[in-house]
Amino acid sequence: MKKDTHPKYYPKAQITCACGKTWITGSTREEIKVELCSNCHPFYTGKQKFLDAARRVEKFQEKSAKKIVASAARKGKKAKKAARVAKKTTTTTDAD
């Protein structure tokens, strides 16, 4: 087996989260910095955070609201057919 092919293992590597929580574990890096941990992640805390960069969340919400309004304004085939039948019956009874 060749020597020096594996990285050095640090049994007491320190991991630091952006929220301030730190813990010790084994790793090939001596120090690791992370953005989210189980202490601050929305899945574990139940609190939802929006990290809005360049209004992306707001733009998405506006776009989805427009789609809902547009789909409600559109009439389906059955509604159009019922309107034609109703119009036809009112013009036929008016002509009689």
Any binding-site annotation on 24? no
Any binding-site annotation on 17? yes
Any binding-site annotation on 91? no
* Residues shown for the chain: 96
Helix (H) or strand (E) holding 62: helix 56-73
| Alpha helices by DSSP H, 1-96 | 42-45, 56-73, 77-95
Q: Angle at the Cα of 92 (from 94 to 73), degrees rounded to 5?
A: 95
Q: How many whole angstroms separate alpha carbon 73 and alpha carbon 81?
A: 16
Any binding-site annotation on 19? yes
**Bridge-based pairing state of the strands 10-17 and 31-34:** parallel
Q: Would you list which residues are annotated within the binding site for Zn(2+)? A: 17, 19, 37, 40
Q: Would you list which residues are annotated within the binding site? A: 17, 19, 37, 40
